[in-house]
Structures are given as C-alpha cells and as structure tokens.
C-alpha cells in the first residue's frame, strides 16, 4: 500500500511498521529499494526492553532541517538501531503491527524475541535488500 507522509507519521507513532522504499542514494551492489522495520512508538522505544534490545536513545538535538519540507519521515530503524529519514515519494507499507495495548506490546516483544533478536547480520541485510 502506498503511503503518504501524514499517514506514515501517524502510523509510526502507534505501530511497528514494515516498509519498502526507494533509496534516495543508490548503493553499488544493492537494489534500488530497501525494506525496513521501524517505529516511533514511544511506549516501545523508551521502555526498558526498547532501551536495551533496540538501543534506543532520544534525540539530543533538533534536526538540522525540517524533514517534512523534503517529504521525509524520521523514524527509528529496528535493525540499524538509529534514526533514518524515509522519503515518502515512493514508500510502500507492507505490514503494520499496532503497539497501543498491553496485548499488542506483548505480541510485538514475543515476535521480536522469537524472530528478530536471533537474526544474524547477513540475515538482516538479506531482509533489507528484498
């Protein structure tokens, strides 16, 4: 599903989202797009597991530019464990995992512990490049 910047911004605040987007700066040997698991859900990121397992740290200074002026959304990348800017010019939402209730949050952490935590660097790169 194609996503607009406002939709993506609001969804990232309440969900963990799997995205596929066109790379702004293509890399030799990589495809022209990238897949990502990301969120801006503060109840996941600032929780004890989020700070430990996702290495989340809140921003220490304002961004050097206004992302919306470039049709970008800033989000926390679960694999790279840092902030990324996503261009909303060509972004598809693949999966939305809500994290608004205790059951949703528990479901996410079960998924994370079962599938994501044990992924090797190579498996993460394969995921990102498909």
On the question of pLDDT at 44 being above 80, the answer is yes
Domain boundaries, the chain: 5-128
Instruction: Quote the tokens at residue 47.
Output: 């929780």
Region 67-94 average pLDDT: 94
Q: How far apart are CA 119 and CA 112, in angstroms?
A: 10
At 29, the pLDDT band (50, 70, 90 cuts) reads: confident
At 55, the pLDDT band (50, 70, 90 cuts) reads: very high
pTM: 0.92
The torsion angle over the Cα atoms of residues 90, 93, 99 and 103, rounded to 10 degrees, is -170
């Amino acid at each position: 599903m194609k996503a607009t910047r406002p939709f993506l911004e609001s969804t990232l605040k309440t969900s963990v989202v799997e995205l596929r987007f066109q790379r702004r700066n293509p890399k030799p040997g990589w495809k022209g797009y990238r897949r990502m698991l990301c969120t801006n859900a503060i109840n996941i990121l600032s929780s004890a597991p989020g700070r430990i397992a996702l290495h989340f740290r809140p921003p220490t200074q304002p961004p050097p530019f206004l992302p919306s002026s470039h049709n970008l959304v800033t989000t926390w990348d679960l694999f790279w464990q840092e902030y990324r800017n996503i261009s909303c010019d060509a972004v598809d939402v693949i999966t939305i995992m809500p994290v608004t209730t205790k059951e949703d949050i528990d479901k996410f952490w079960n998924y994370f512990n079962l599938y994501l935590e044990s992924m090797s660097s190579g498996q993460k790169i394969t995921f990102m490049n498909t």
